[in-house]
Amino acid sequence: MSFTGKYELENQENYDAFMKLIGIPDDTIEKGRDFKFTTEVVQNGNDFTWSQIYPGRTMTNKFTVGQESEMETMSGKKFKATVKLEGGKLVVDFGKYLHTSEIVGGNLVETSVAGGVTFKRTSKKLA
């Protein structure tokens, strides 16, 4: 299944609790809570360019499934990780949390788990 597309955030669950758990400052949590950011994904086989476009900032991760790549977390920390494809889901260990992405009913569903807190974000496909 192709992840390629442009997606707009529709809803998120456990945002505040998860962001606090991974160490995001309160003022940043407050600013980010209601952002309707866009995610743009370009997939070419196992090569991905994954961009999240926030007001005033774009975070882009480029990676190849199965190969170590430099990645950036939501908090801006850079590290090396290997993205895996498991059962149609992209899976990556971001150090403090495990993140999965999948396409469900044409929507992008991203789930991050840390310390017993599950943060789920659903974005509807625009293009």
Using 50, 70 and 90 to split pLDDT, how confident is the model at 76? confident
Query: Which is it for the CA torsion 86, 47, 123, 76, positive or negative?
Result: positive
Would you state the pLDDT for residue 1? 63
At residue 107, does pLDDT exceed 90? yes
Return d(Cα 28, Cα 112) in angstroms, integer: 18
pLDDT tens profile 9-45: 999 999 999 999 988 889 888 887 877 889 999 999 9
At residue 57, does pLDDT exceed 90? no
Return d(Cα 84, Cα 66) in angstroms, integer: 6
Tokens, residue 48: 């991905």
Give the residue from 39, 108, 45 showing the smallest Cα distance to 74. Answer: 39
Residue range 69-95: mean pLDDT, rounded: 87
Using 50, 70 and 90 to split pLDDT, how confident is the model at 113? very high
Residue-wise DSSP of 87-120: TTEEEEE-SS-EEEEEEETTEEEEEEEETTEEEE
